[in-house]
Amino acid sequence: MKNKLEISVISKIQDLLNQNLSFACFSLPNTRAWHFIFNTSKGNKKFVIQSWNKEKFVLQSSTYYTIDIEDLSSLSFTNNFKSNCTYECSKKEFSELVNSIKSAIQQSNLKKVVASRIVKTHKSNSFNISKILSSLGCNYQNAFKYFFCFPKEQIAWIGASPEKLLIQKRNIASTMSLAGTQPYSNNIKWSEKEFEEQKLVTYEITNVLESLNLKYDVQKLKNQKAGHLAHLCNEISIELNSLIESDILVNKLHPTPAIAGLPKTESVNFINSNEKHNRAFYTGLLGVENFFETNYYFVNLRCMQIFKDSLSIYVGAGITSNSVAENEWQETKSKANVLLNVLSE
Protein backbone atom coordinates (compact mmCIF):
# COMPACT_ATOMS: atom_id res chain seq x y z
CA MET A 1 0.00 0.00 0.00
CA LYS A 2 1.36 3.42 -0.98
CA ASN A 3 1.80 6.02 1.73
CA LYS A 4 0.50 9.59 1.43
CA LEU A 5 3.88 10.94 0.32
CA GLU A 6 4.15 8.41 -2.54
CA ILE A 7 0.60 9.18 -3.65
CA SER A 8 1.37 12.91 -3.53
CA VAL A 9 4.49 12.51 -5.73
CA ILE A 10 2.64 10.37 -8.30
CA SER A 11 -0.19 12.89 -8.36
CA LYS A 12 2.25 15.76 -8.87
CA ILE A 13 3.98 13.96 -11.76
CA GLN A 14 0.65 13.24 -13.42
CA ASP A 15 -0.39 16.87 -13.02
CA LEU A 16 2.79 18.02 -14.74
CA LEU A 17 2.37 15.41 -17.50
CA ASN A 18 -1.12 16.79 -18.14
CA GLN A 19 0.36 20.26 -18.69
CA ASN A 20 2.20 19.04 -21.82
CA LEU A 21 5.59 20.21 -20.58
CA SER A 22 8.73 18.84 -22.20
CA PHE A 23 10.10 16.20 -19.84
CA ALA A 24 12.31 13.17 -19.42
CA CYS A 25 12.16 10.21 -17.10
CA PHE A 26 15.10 7.90 -16.57
CA SER A 27 16.46 5.06 -14.49
CA LEU A 28 20.19 4.79 -13.84
CA PRO A 29 21.96 1.44 -14.34
CA ASN A 30 21.37 -1.13 -11.62
CA THR A 31 18.69 0.91 -9.85
CA ARG A 32 14.92 0.50 -9.57
CA ALA A 33 14.00 4.16 -9.12
CA TRP A 34 12.67 6.32 -11.96
CA HIS A 35 13.34 10.05 -11.92
CA PHE A 36 11.25 12.68 -13.70
CA ILE A 37 12.50 16.11 -14.74
CA PHE A 38 10.16 18.70 -16.30
CA ASN A 39 11.61 21.60 -18.23
CA THR A 40 11.39 24.97 -16.49
CA SER A 41 14.48 26.40 -18.25
CA LYS A 42 16.16 27.16 -14.93
CA GLY A 43 17.88 25.24 -12.15
CA ASN A 44 20.97 23.07 -11.94
CA LYS A 45 19.34 19.69 -12.67
CA LYS A 46 19.66 18.90 -16.37
CA PHE A 47 18.66 16.16 -18.78
CA VAL A 48 20.89 16.57 -21.83
CA ILE A 49 20.09 15.23 -25.29
CA GLN A 50 22.41 15.61 -28.27
CA SER A 51 21.66 14.33 -31.75
CA TRP A 52 24.06 12.53 -34.08
CA ASN A 53 24.60 15.87 -35.83
CA LYS A 54 25.47 17.61 -32.53
CA GLU A 55 22.16 19.46 -32.11
CA LYS A 56 21.75 19.87 -28.35
CA PHE A 57 18.61 20.03 -26.20
CA VAL A 58 18.57 20.60 -22.44
CA LEU A 59 15.67 19.99 -20.05
CA GLN A 60 16.43 22.08 -16.99
CA SER A 61 14.88 22.34 -13.53
CA SER A 62 15.73 22.83 -9.88
CA THR A 63 13.47 19.90 -8.95
CA TYR A 64 13.06 16.28 -9.90
CA TYR A 65 10.60 13.62 -8.76
CA THR A 66 11.38 10.01 -7.95
CA ILE A 67 9.10 6.98 -7.92
CA ASP A 68 9.67 3.23 -7.77
CA ILE A 69 9.35 1.06 -10.86
CA GLU A 70 6.05 -0.41 -9.64
CA ASP A 71 4.48 3.07 -9.62
CA LEU A 72 4.98 3.66 -13.36
CA SER A 73 1.70 1.88 -14.05
CA SER A 74 -0.11 4.63 -12.13
CA LEU A 75 0.86 7.23 -14.74
CA SER A 76 -0.78 8.14 -18.04
CA PHE A 77 1.47 9.49 -20.80
CA THR A 78 0.67 11.51 -23.91
CA ASN A 79 -0.32 9.78 -27.12
CA ASN A 80 0.15 12.83 -29.36
CA PHE A 81 2.97 11.92 -31.76
CA LYS A 82 4.14 12.81 -35.25
CA SER A 83 2.87 11.08 -38.35
CA ASN A 84 5.19 8.43 -39.77
CA CYS A 85 8.11 9.83 -41.74
CA THR A 86 11.24 7.65 -41.42
CA TYR A 87 12.96 5.61 -44.12
CA GLU A 88 13.37 1.85 -43.77
CA CYS A 89 16.01 0.26 -45.99
CA SER A 90 15.69 -3.24 -47.40
CA LYS A 91 18.07 -6.10 -46.73
CA LYS A 92 19.46 -5.63 -50.25
CA GLU A 93 20.15 -1.93 -49.61
CA PHE A 94 21.81 -2.67 -46.28
CA SER A 95 24.03 -5.34 -47.87
CA GLU A 96 25.01 -2.85 -50.57
CA LEU A 97 25.92 -0.32 -47.87
CA VAL A 98 28.06 -2.91 -46.06
CA ASN A 99 29.88 -3.82 -49.26
CA SER A 100 30.43 -0.18 -50.19
CA ILE A 101 32.04 0.35 -46.76
CA LYS A 102 34.33 -2.65 -47.30
CA SER A 103 35.36 -1.23 -50.68
CA ALA A 104 36.04 2.17 -49.13
CA ILE A 105 38.19 0.52 -46.45
CA GLN A 106 40.27 -1.16 -49.16
CA GLN A 107 40.72 2.08 -51.09
CA SER A 108 41.30 4.60 -48.28
CA ASN A 109 42.57 4.96 -44.71
CA LEU A 110 39.18 3.95 -43.27
CA LYS A 111 39.43 1.06 -40.82
CA LYS A 112 35.84 0.82 -39.62
CA VAL A 113 32.45 2.39 -40.36
CA VAL A 114 29.24 1.77 -38.41
CA ALA A 115 26.31 1.09 -40.75
CA SER A 116 22.86 1.73 -39.34
CA ARG A 117 19.30 1.12 -40.43
CA ILE A 118 15.75 1.64 -39.21
CA VAL A 119 13.32 -1.17 -38.39
CA LYS A 120 9.72 0.03 -38.59
CA THR A 121 6.96 -1.77 -36.75
CA HIS A 122 3.26 -1.11 -36.26
CA LYS A 123 2.19 0.62 -33.05
CA SER A 124 -0.67 -1.46 -31.71
CA ASN A 125 -3.68 -0.12 -29.83
CA SER A 126 -2.29 -1.75 -26.69
CA PHE A 127 0.92 0.33 -26.87
CA ASN A 128 1.61 1.49 -23.32
CA ILE A 129 4.62 3.61 -22.36
CA SER A 130 4.38 2.78 -18.65
CA LYS A 131 4.42 -0.93 -19.44
CA ILE A 132 7.43 -0.58 -21.78
CA LEU A 133 9.41 1.40 -19.21
CA SER A 134 8.63 -1.19 -16.54
CA SER A 135 9.75 -4.00 -18.83
CA LEU A 136 13.00 -2.21 -19.72
CA GLY A 137 13.65 -1.62 -16.03
CA CYS A 138 13.19 -5.30 -15.19
CA ASN A 139 14.97 -6.85 -18.19
CA TYR A 140 17.82 -4.39 -18.84
CA GLN A 141 18.91 -3.50 -15.34
CA ASN A 142 22.50 -2.50 -16.18
CA ALA A 143 21.37 -0.14 -18.98
CA PHE A 144 20.40 3.52 -18.85
CA LYS A 145 16.63 3.46 -19.39
CA TYR A 146 14.82 6.61 -20.48
CA PHE A 147 11.83 8.23 -22.14
CA PHE A 148 11.89 11.84 -23.27
CA CYS A 149 9.08 13.77 -24.86
CA PHE A 150 8.57 17.21 -26.38
CA PRO A 151 4.75 17.27 -26.61
CA LYS A 152 4.44 20.53 -28.56
CA GLU A 153 6.90 19.27 -31.18
CA GLN A 154 5.38 15.75 -31.02
CA ILE A 155 8.85 14.22 -30.53
CA ALA A 156 9.25 11.20 -28.29
CA TRP A 157 12.03 8.60 -27.89
CA ILE A 158 12.45 5.64 -25.59
CA GLY A 159 15.39 3.32 -25.02
CA ALA A 160 17.76 1.30 -22.86
CA SER A 161 21.39 2.05 -23.68
CA PRO A 162 24.12 -0.40 -22.62
CA GLU A 163 26.96 2.01 -23.51
CA LYS A 164 28.35 4.40 -20.93
CA LEU A 165 30.03 7.41 -22.50
CA LEU A 166 31.18 9.06 -19.27
CA ILE A 167 30.28 9.04 -15.59
CA GLN A 168 32.02 11.77 -13.62
CA LYS A 169 32.05 12.66 -9.94
CA ARG A 170 34.51 15.39 -8.97
CA ASN A 171 37.89 14.36 -10.44
CA ILE A 172 37.08 10.67 -10.93
CA ALA A 173 35.46 9.47 -14.15
CA SER A 174 34.90 6.30 -16.13
CA THR A 175 34.02 5.31 -19.66
CA MET A 176 33.89 2.04 -21.58
CA SER A 177 35.04 0.54 -24.84
CA LEU A 178 32.17 -1.53 -26.22
CA ALA A 179 32.05 -3.56 -29.43
CA GLY A 180 30.97 -6.90 -30.85
CA THR A 181 27.55 -8.49 -30.42
CA GLN A 182 26.59 -12.10 -29.69
CA PRO A 183 23.57 -13.79 -28.10
CA TYR A 184 24.34 -14.02 -24.38
CA SER A 185 25.44 -17.43 -23.08
CA ASN A 186 28.01 -18.92 -20.73
CA ASN A 187 30.16 -20.01 -23.67
CA ILE A 188 30.43 -17.14 -26.15
CA LYS A 189 32.89 -17.62 -29.01
CA TRP A 190 34.02 -14.25 -30.32
CA SER A 191 35.33 -13.97 -33.86
CA GLU A 192 38.58 -12.37 -35.01
CA LYS A 193 36.52 -9.57 -36.57
CA GLU A 194 34.85 -8.81 -33.23
CA PHE A 195 38.14 -8.76 -31.31
CA GLU A 196 39.62 -6.49 -33.98
CA GLU A 197 36.65 -4.15 -33.75
CA GLN A 198 36.97 -4.00 -29.97
CA LYS A 199 40.69 -3.16 -30.13
CA LEU A 200 39.99 -0.30 -32.55
CA VAL A 201 37.46 1.24 -30.16
CA THR A 202 39.78 0.93 -27.15
CA TYR A 203 42.71 2.34 -29.13
CA GLU A 204 40.80 5.46 -30.17
CA ILE A 205 39.40 6.17 -26.68
CA THR A 206 42.82 5.89 -25.06
CA ASN A 207 44.28 8.13 -27.77
CA VAL A 208 41.75 10.82 -26.85
CA LEU A 209 42.63 10.51 -23.16
CA GLU A 210 46.36 10.70 -23.90
CA SER A 211 45.87 13.78 -26.08
CA LEU A 212 44.34 15.49 -23.05
CA ASN A 213 47.17 14.32 -20.76
CA LEU A 214 44.76 12.36 -18.59
CA LYS A 215 45.75 9.38 -16.47
CA TYR A 216 43.67 6.28 -17.15
CA ASP A 217 43.51 2.56 -16.49
CA VAL A 218 42.05 0.03 -18.94
CA GLN A 219 40.51 -2.90 -17.10
CA LYS A 220 40.50 -6.50 -18.28
CA LEU A 221 38.36 -7.38 -21.30
CA LYS A 222 35.03 -8.87 -20.27
CA ASN A 223 31.63 -9.91 -21.64
CA GLN A 224 29.07 -7.19 -20.96
CA LYS A 225 25.52 -8.54 -20.67
CA ALA A 226 22.79 -6.41 -22.23
CA GLY A 227 19.51 -8.27 -21.93
CA HIS A 228 19.67 -11.30 -24.27
CA LEU A 229 22.84 -9.93 -25.92
CA ALA A 230 26.50 -9.66 -24.92
CA HIS A 231 29.26 -7.28 -26.00
CA LEU A 232 33.02 -7.18 -25.56
CA CYS A 233 33.85 -4.49 -23.04
CA ASN A 234 36.78 -2.75 -21.40
CA GLU A 235 35.91 -0.50 -18.48
CA ILE A 236 38.26 2.51 -18.38
CA SER A 237 38.81 4.58 -15.25
CA ILE A 238 40.03 8.18 -15.64
CA GLU A 239 41.61 10.72 -13.32
CA LEU A 240 40.52 14.21 -14.36
CA ASN A 241 42.52 17.36 -13.80
CA SER A 242 41.24 20.87 -13.03
CA LEU A 243 41.66 21.94 -16.66
CA ILE A 244 39.24 19.37 -18.12
CA GLU A 245 35.50 19.81 -17.64
CA SER A 246 33.31 16.75 -18.18
CA ASP A 247 31.45 18.31 -21.12
CA ILE A 248 34.77 18.92 -22.91
CA LEU A 249 35.78 15.28 -22.46
CA VAL A 250 32.33 14.08 -23.54
CA ASN A 251 32.56 15.97 -26.81
CA LYS A 252 36.10 14.71 -27.40
CA LEU A 253 34.96 11.11 -26.90
CA HIS A 254 31.73 11.39 -28.90
CA PRO A 255 31.19 9.94 -31.41
CA THR A 256 33.26 6.92 -30.39
CA PRO A 257 34.41 4.30 -32.93
CA ALA A 258 31.64 2.06 -31.54
CA ILE A 259 29.02 4.26 -33.23
CA ALA A 260 30.93 6.01 -36.03
CA GLY A 261 34.16 4.27 -36.98
CA LEU A 262 37.82 5.04 -37.56
CA PRO A 263 39.24 7.49 -38.34
CA LYS A 264 36.47 9.55 -36.74
CA THR A 265 36.16 12.41 -39.25
CA GLU A 266 36.32 10.19 -42.33
CA SER A 267 33.84 7.67 -40.95
CA VAL A 268 31.35 10.36 -39.94
CA ASN A 269 31.60 11.91 -43.40
CA PHE A 270 31.03 8.51 -45.03
CA ILE A 271 27.96 7.88 -42.88
CA ASN A 272 26.43 11.29 -43.60
CA SER A 273 27.03 10.85 -47.33
CA ASN A 274 25.83 7.25 -47.71
CA GLU A 275 23.10 6.47 -45.17
CA LYS A 276 19.71 7.36 -46.66
CA HIS A 277 18.01 8.02 -43.34
CA ASN A 278 18.53 10.70 -40.73
CA ARG A 279 19.99 9.17 -37.56
CA ALA A 280 18.35 11.95 -35.52
CA PHE A 281 19.00 11.11 -31.84
CA TYR A 282 20.28 7.59 -32.55
CA THR A 283 24.01 7.34 -31.70
CA GLY A 284 23.81 10.79 -30.20
CA LEU A 285 24.30 11.16 -26.48
CA LEU A 286 22.01 11.70 -23.54
CA GLY A 287 22.30 11.86 -19.81
CA VAL A 288 21.86 13.85 -16.65
CA GLU A 289 23.95 16.50 -14.95
CA ASN A 290 24.15 17.34 -11.26
CA PHE A 291 22.24 14.31 -10.01
CA PHE A 292 23.67 12.93 -6.76
CA GLU A 293 26.74 15.17 -7.32
CA THR A 294 27.45 13.19 -10.48
CA ASN A 295 27.20 13.67 -14.24
CA TYR A 296 26.02 10.67 -16.27
CA TYR A 297 26.31 10.46 -20.07
CA PHE A 298 25.37 7.54 -22.33
CA VAL A 299 25.39 6.80 -26.05
CA ASN A 300 21.84 6.60 -27.37
CA LEU A 301 21.53 2.95 -28.45
CA ARG A 302 18.73 0.34 -28.30
CA CYS A 303 16.30 3.14 -28.92
CA MET A 304 13.19 3.92 -30.91
CA GLN A 305 11.23 6.95 -32.00
CA ILE A 306 7.49 6.91 -31.36
CA PHE A 307 5.12 8.00 -34.14
CA LYS A 308 1.35 8.19 -34.42
CA ASP A 309 0.85 4.73 -35.94
CA SER A 310 4.32 3.17 -35.94
CA LEU A 311 7.63 2.84 -34.15
CA SER A 312 11.08 3.30 -35.68
CA ILE A 313 13.80 1.19 -34.05
CA TYR A 314 17.37 2.27 -34.84
CA VAL A 315 20.12 -0.35 -35.04
CA GLY A 316 23.64 -0.59 -36.41
CA ALA A 317 26.70 -2.78 -36.87
CA GLY A 318 30.42 -2.05 -37.06
CA ILE A 319 31.83 -2.83 -40.51
CA THR A 320 35.49 -3.73 -41.00
CA SER A 321 37.41 -5.41 -43.82
CA ASN A 322 36.45 -8.82 -42.36
CA SER A 323 32.71 -8.14 -42.25
CA VAL A 324 30.17 -10.41 -43.97
CA ALA A 325 27.00 -8.59 -45.02
CA GLU A 326 24.66 -11.42 -43.93
CA ASN A 327 26.26 -11.56 -40.48
CA GLU A 328 25.92 -7.80 -40.04
CA TRP A 329 22.24 -7.97 -41.06
CA GLN A 330 21.65 -10.68 -38.46
CA GLU A 331 23.43 -8.59 -35.83
CA THR A 332 21.09 -5.65 -36.48
CA LYS A 333 18.10 -8.00 -36.26
CA SER A 334 19.32 -9.20 -32.85
CA LYS A 335 19.63 -5.62 -31.66
CA ALA A 336 16.17 -4.72 -32.95
CA ASN A 337 14.76 -7.68 -31.02
CA VAL A 338 15.74 -5.97 -27.75
CA LEU A 339 12.83 -3.57 -28.21
CA LEU A 340 10.62 -5.83 -30.36
CA ASN A 341 10.59 -8.39 -27.55
CA VAL A 342 9.59 -5.70 -25.05
CA LEU A 343 6.77 -4.58 -27.36
CA SER A 344 5.44 -8.12 -27.69
CA GLU A 345 5.17 -8.74 -23.93
pLDDT in tens, 247-261: 889 999 999 999 999
Q: What CATH number is given to the structural domain containing 74?
A: 3.60.120.10
Residues of the chain above pLDDT 70, percent: 98
- Quote the domain boundaries for residue 66: 4-344
CA distance 95 to 326: 7
pTM (whole model) above 0.85: yes
Provide the 3-class DSSP secondary structure of residue 332: helix
Q: Collect all residues with Cβ–Cβ distance below 8 Å to 79 and sequence separation of at least 6.
A: none
Quote the pLDDT of residue 190: 95
Quote the pLDDT of residue 3: 58
pLDDT in tens, 35-84: 999 999 999 999 999 999 999 999 999 999 999 998 999 999 877 788 87
Residue 154: pLDDT above 60? yes
Angle at 161 between CA 149 and CA 328, to 5 degrees: 115
In the chain, how many domains are there?
1
Does 80 or 173 have the greater pLDDT score? 173
Quote the pLDDT of residue 120: 95
CA distance 141 to 326: 30
pLDDT in tens, 70-109: 899 999 987 778 887 778 989 999 999 999 999 999 999 9
| Mean pLDDT, residues 292-308 taken together | 95
User: Quick check: 235 and 166 in contact, CB under 8 A?
Assistant: no
